[in-house]
Amino acid sequence: MKSFGTLVIASALIACAVALITDEQREAARQLAGKCMQQTGASEEEVNRLRSGDTENTDRDTRCFVQCFFHGAGFVDADGNVQKEELTEKLASEYGQEKAEEMVARCGDNAGPDACERSFRLLECYLANRATLMF
């Protein structure tokens, strides 16, 4: 079963692989997404684009949605800095320690001008490198 962290990425933002998640995890992710949409003003249409992996021309509200969501999931802190240990732990539970460490090493440096940009860059890096988790 996927960890909550993987659930967050897979079910709420990215439609990559079929996730085997509990109803409780799905509901927690749905509630977090709804809260973050309200807080940031991100539209359902834009969030759905992210779920499909489309990050092209993403507006500011949606970038801040990613920050809110990733912060709520424990992937980043309030400033958008990657929480490397937490992210590694969550990814490792699904993909193994080595693959998780490799992904965090690739995506852990998400420098940007503010929290929204840093979190969005983490998402983009994950999307660009997610195939390495599978193989």
Query: In this predicted structure, what is the pLDDT of residue 47?
Result: 93
Helix axes 23-40, 44-51, angle to 10 degrees: 130
Q: For residue range 57-83, list pLDDT tens digits in order.
A: 999 999 999 999 999 999 999 999 999
91-104: average pLDDT: 90
Q: Which helix (H) or strand (E) holds 38?
A: helix 23-40
The pTM of the full predicted model, rounded to 2 decimals, is: 0.81
Task: Give the homologous superfamily in CATH for domain 24-129.
Answer: Pheromone/general odorant binding protein domain (1.10.238.20)
Residue 14 has what DSSP assignment? B
Q: Which of 14-18, 19-23, 38-42, 126-130 has the highest mean pLDDT?
A: 38-42
Instruction: Please give the Cα distance from 111 to 89 (Å, whole number).
Output: 21
**29 confidence band (pLDDT: 50, 70, 90):** confident
**93 confidence band (pLDDT: 50, 70, 90):** confident
* β-bridge mates for residue 76, sequence order: 82
